[in-house]
Amino acid sequence: MKVKLKIANVISFIREIYSLDLIVLTQPIYNKFVQLNSSFQREINSTGIFLYEKDHQGVAYEYSENIC
């Protein structure tokens, strides 16, 4: 619960300007999500933005120009 509140506090300023749905998945759960190949999964993977990925910490920076 504490982590959820921390995340909510951090992204609150973004919510004032943009609509935001935040999905946080572990790698095994993400792999299962991809395997489902649902229309929701395809939409998220084609139009969603990775803000952070453990092995690619520059992801948020790369996409920040598109957000601002």
Number of structural domains (the chain) is 1
| Span 10-56, pLDDT tens digits | 778 777 888 878 787 888 888 898 899 999 888 888 888 777 666 66
Task: Tell me, yes or no, whether 4 lies in a domain.
Answer: no
Cβ partners under 8 Å of residue 1, min gap 6: none
Task: Tell me, yes or no, whether 9 lies in a domain.
Answer: no
Task: Tell me, yes or no, whether 3 lies in a domain.
Answer: no
Task: Tell me, yes or no, whether 12 lies in a domain.
Answer: no
Task: Tell me, yes or no, whether 47 lies in a domain.
Answer: yes
Q: Is the pTM of this model over 0.75?
A: no
Task: Tell me, yes or no, whether 11 lies in a domain.
Answer: no
Q: How confident is the model at residue 65 (pLDDT cuts 50, 70, 90)?
A: very low
Number of Cβ within 10 Å of residue 60's Cβ equals 14
Domain carrying residue 54: 19-67
